[in-house]
Structure 1
């Protein structure tokens, strides 16, 4: 049986995102999410997790949005103490990698302290691909014995991850043919998504807003649910299978 993980990023961002993710899980095909430990919706997300324990929850390691969990950081924050914008990392930059490691570890520990046992790691804005940060990403995955999102060129057969990773949910869930095509050369695939209801905080703080409602609609649409009901070769799963 092929395994498909449909994972929503940004759990904990704000209430609008949190409620959208839960809706996509309870009334749709979403199986997994990754949590942001540093954002204002974190406590609300923890409460929702307690009500919906079947939703797989990983850690969405953050370096580009909001303020860090730790204090007294210097190279990964701006003059206001907030994380640097992701555009900062698109040119040459100087960062203390120990600060990245310490902050990401603190984010994992905060989620563990909330009573959540993470299923895997991934990174907000794919920050693990900035500079040499993938090495930190792998180091933490090994320390906590967790799988990771396969958004890199996986040349290590011992690395715990899915065979495939898909950015474009709309294309992948278009039809039975497109769904089957995902597994032409893979047995496990993750689809990334960002479902949400829009609230004031999300509208004011994110450049990716209205498309989140379209993603929520697709994940909960009867046609999408029927796509999985009428086939028996692909099973919806979480990162616990990895």
Structure 2
């Protein structure tokens, strides 16, 4: 049997994102969402989730790369904002530039902000721009903090389908070389991060995909083919009765019509303003895709331990 977690990232980024994710949760198109607690719409978004007929599972979308940090003075800040994801990866190995104590402080502040907003510690953590698997300080500190607070699940964005998709025409049309290189590095660092989180007894799904299905790259056929391959591998494994879990990372939402609203203090980015997120929303809500899950004994769950 294959259990599938579909996570909608970036909750709290803006109102259009929140409403799109709410629609997906209500209609069973995603099984959980990850909240950015420094997102300008996170506070208002809390009430939307609390009013869902079935209370949604919400985790922390740890953010160290976009907008304003929660701590006022930090080596993570550059002119008042986080450094970009590319800059942060280059700086993390230099403790003279990025202080380990300040990384830990920001992580704890975001976890505590989540608890303040949602009334509990996050049941799982993943990272905006996959920062939770960044080499050096972040993954080591985060794993330690999660262990201390008994937060026992993390995303592991090692996407076995991405290597096959690197020459995908849509990827080449929609992503510049720097983005492709960044996604390749995420894939590599996620594989290395597995041992770090395992050492702290933190769980993650058996499989993950989403790097090769972002925006216009997401299609029903691609999702179906990936899941059929994973189900076949699980069936033919040495332990065929084992329940295999897989996470699909998704970014559904409605396009932002005013770039000055939302974001994390710097306004909405291009991905928020494009129709790519609406495309993902429509694919995930497809009647035929939901029927495919039922026909193939694929069960949507919200946590690995479900």
Question: Same fold, TM exceeding 0.5?
Answer: yes
Q: Which moved more, 1:197-206 or 1:37-46?
A: 197-206
1:8 match: secondary structure? strand
CA distance in 2, matches of 1:195, 1:16: 10
Residue aligned with 1:161, SS: coil
Contact 1:63-1:127 at 8 Å conserved across structures: yes
1:234 CA drift (Å): 1.6
Q: Deviations over 1:93-120 (max 9, x none)?
A: 5311211111111111111112343220
1-side partners of 2:155 and 2:50: how far apart? Answer: 24
CA contact (8 A) 2:40 2:262 kept: no
CA separation of 1:32/1:175 partners in 2, compared to 1, >3 Å: closer, same or farther? closer
- Name whichever of 186-195 and 203-212 sits farther off: 203-212
Please provide the CA RMSD for this pair.
Answer: 2.2
- Asked if 1:138 is matched to 2:186, the reply is no
Structure 1: distance between partners of 2:98 and 2:223: 44
Answering whether residue 156 of structure 2 is matched by residue 91 of structure 1, we say no
Q: Which runs of 5+ in 2 are unaligned?
A: 158-189, 235-242
* Partner Cα separation in structure 1 for residue 42 and residue 288 of structure 2: 32
Shift >6 Å, 4+ stretches: none
Q: How many residues align?
A: 239
Equivalent residue, structure 2, for 1:120: 124
What is aligned with 2:287? 222
After superposing the two structures, state which structure 1 stretch, 219-228 or 150-159, moved more. 150-159
Which deviates more, 10-19 or 24-33?
Answer: 24-33
Deviation at 1:163, TM superposition (A): 0.9
Deviation for aligned residue 1:141: 1.8
Q: Which residue of 1 aligns with 2:170?
A: none
Give the C-alpha shift of residue 88 in structure 1: 1.1
Aligned-pair CA distance for 1:68? 1.3
Question: Alpha-carbon deviations, 1:162-189, whole Å to 9, x = none?
Answer: 1111123436763644322123248011
Q: For residues 31-74 of structure 1, what are the alpha-carbon distances to aligned partners after superposition, in whole Å with 9 as ceiling and x for unaligned?
A: 0111101110111221112112532110000011111122222x
* Residue 161 of structure 1: aligned partner: 204
Runs of 5+ unmatched residues, structure 1: none
2:255 and 2:224 map into 1 onto residues whose CA distance is 30
Equivalent of residue 174 in structure 1, options 222, 229, 236: 222
Q: State the secondary structure of the residue aligned to 1:165.
A: strand
